[in-house]
């Protein structure tokens, strides 16, 4: 089924709304056009909604977007205060190769399946962008903490922040691998192999695989570095504790000798 017959080009707007969206609650929605991923009619446009928290809007007016987001809000888990977003132009070009030309996405027709493929690429790209920003913050925190460790020999209050960022890193790893499944082939393509070339070109344009691999390496580096630094602090604390115990033993011996030699308590 072709959509937007009267339009030569439409705007696509990808929003990362939260950690997840309860798409099952929308499966019986009267405006549902397709599933896996879920496609809803939204005024003159359509919205593709993903369970891992993204919604990609095509040709949706501002008023209709606000209405749709109000409808989705109760279904969003761990909603973000300010949704991450990414935009693109999608142009009808039946006589041109499908893919990206001069930053414009070209498709042979505005079919539901093609919009689902475009939404997969844009949704994954915006999810990667958020994770990349979070990793950047974690790297900065570790650098700051490492500097504090070098200067003072202890992590100070920054240790708690390091543990927080280490936990966030593990959550990012889970989100990208288990929920967003950035490195996996979209389910739609198993049924529509004719659209694989379009997705491959979009995947290349947004560097989805490359960014995912870089992110994976950075996350592994952060996890390893943070764990190593926390071990260093734990070892320092252990050494200090051992010295405290030795000091107490020496103090006890000296006290006993002093008591014996002076006759105090005898």
Boundaries of every domain in the chain: 9-111, 126-261
pLDDT 10s digits, 152-202? 655 555 566 666 666 666 666 656 655 567 778 999 999 999 999 999 999
Q: Is the pLDDT of residue 69 over 60?
A: yes
pLDDT for 135: 80
Q: Is the peptide bond before 37 cis (omega within 30 degrees of 0)?
A: yes
Torsion of the alpha carbons at 62, 63, 64 and 68, rounded to the nearest 10: 100
For the chain, give the mean pLDDT: 82
What is the spatial distance between Cα 119 and Cα 111, in angstroms, rounded to a whole number?
12
pLDDT for 266: 47
12 strand-pairing partners: 58, 88
pLDDT for 74: 95
Tell which residue, 116, 20, 23, has the closest CA to residue 76: 20
Contact status, residue 41 vs residue 31, Cβ threshold 8 Å: yes
Contact status, residue 89 vs residue 11, Cβ threshold 8 Å: yes
Q: How much is the pTM?
A: 0.79
């Amino acid at each position: 089924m072709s959509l937007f017959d009267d339009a030569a080009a439409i705007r696509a707007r990808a929003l990362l709304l939260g950690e997840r969206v309860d798409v099952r609650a929308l499966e019986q929605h009267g405006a549902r056009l397709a599933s896996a991923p879920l496609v809803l009619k939204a005024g003159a446009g359509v919205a593709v909604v993903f369970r891992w928290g993204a919604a990609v809007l095509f040709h949706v007016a501002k008023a209709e977007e606000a209405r749709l987001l109000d409808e989705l809000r109760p279904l969003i888990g761990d909603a973000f205060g300010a949704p991450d977003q990414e935009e693109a132009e999608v142009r009808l070009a039946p006589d041109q190769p499908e893919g990206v030309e001069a930053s414009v996405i070209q498709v042979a027709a505005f079919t539901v399946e093609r919009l689902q493929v475009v939404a997969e690429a844009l949704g994954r790209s915006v999810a990667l962008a958020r994770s990349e920003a979070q990793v950047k913050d974690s790297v900065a925190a570790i650098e700051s903490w490492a500097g504090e460790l070098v200067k003072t020999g202890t992590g100070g209050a920054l240790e708690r922040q390091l543990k927080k960022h280490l936990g966030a890193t593990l959550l990012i790893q889970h989100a990208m691998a288990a929920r967003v499944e950035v490195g996996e082939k979209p389910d739609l393509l198993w049924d529509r192999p004719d659209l694989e070339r379009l997705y491959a070109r979009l995947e290349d344009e947004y560097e989805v695989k490359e960014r995912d691999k870089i992110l994976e390496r950075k996350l592994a580096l952060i996890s390893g570095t943070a764990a190593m630094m926390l071990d260093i602090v734990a070892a320092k604390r252990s050494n200090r504790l051992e010295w405290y115990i030795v000091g107490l033993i020496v103090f006890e011996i000296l006290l006993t000798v002093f008591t014996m030699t002076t006759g105090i308590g005898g």
